């Protein structure tokens, strides 16, 4: 009876733990990488030079085109959560929010 009642219960990932891990990684990354962090920020500053800024939209368009094609559909299969309307739910995968936060962090450096 217990198994029948809770068989269809949905198990969400522990968002609080994922958030804590992401915060610790962002805070501790400069201490772990040391001088390598300066090399990483140097590479990003070269990327955001005038020439890099010129090619950045082109690269983004090519990535979007690839991910929209049949060959790039494996990425959506990996991130698929299994729900019928999972793409439209706000409580879906936190991967997109983590990417936006990471991009904002890179821009803040």
pLDDT in tens, the chain (109 residues): 555 555 555 556 567 777 888 888 877 777 776 666 677 677 777 777 877 777 877 888 888 777 777 776 666 665 555 555 555 555 556 777 778 778 877 887 7
Domain containing 27 equals 14-47
Please report the pLDDT score of residue 79 as a whole number.
Answer: 55
Structural domain tally of the chain?
A: 2
Are 43 and 61 members of one domain? no
Tell me the DSSP string of 63-94.
HHHHHHSSTTHHHHHHH--S-TTGGG-TTS-T
Residue 24 lies in a domain: yes
The tokens for 43 are 């590479």
Residue 43 lies in a domain: yes
CA pair distance 15, 21, nearest whole angstrom: 10
Of 30, 47, 64, which residue sits at a domain end?
Answer: 47
Q: Whole-prediction pTM value?
A: 0.34
């Amino acid at each position: 009876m217990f198994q029948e009642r809770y068989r269809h219960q949905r198990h969400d990932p522990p968002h609080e733990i994922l958030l804590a891990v992401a915060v610790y990684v962002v805070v501790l990354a400069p201490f772990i990488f040391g001088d390598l962090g300066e090399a990483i920020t140097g590479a990003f500053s070269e990327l955001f030079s005038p020439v890099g800024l010129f090619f950045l939209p082109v690269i983004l368009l090519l990535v979007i085109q690839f991910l929209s094609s049949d060959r790039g559909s494996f990425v959506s299969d990996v991130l698929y959560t299994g729900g019928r309307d999972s793409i439209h739910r706000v409580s879906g995968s936190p991967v997109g929010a983590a990417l936006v936060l990471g991009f904002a962090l890179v821009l803040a450096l």
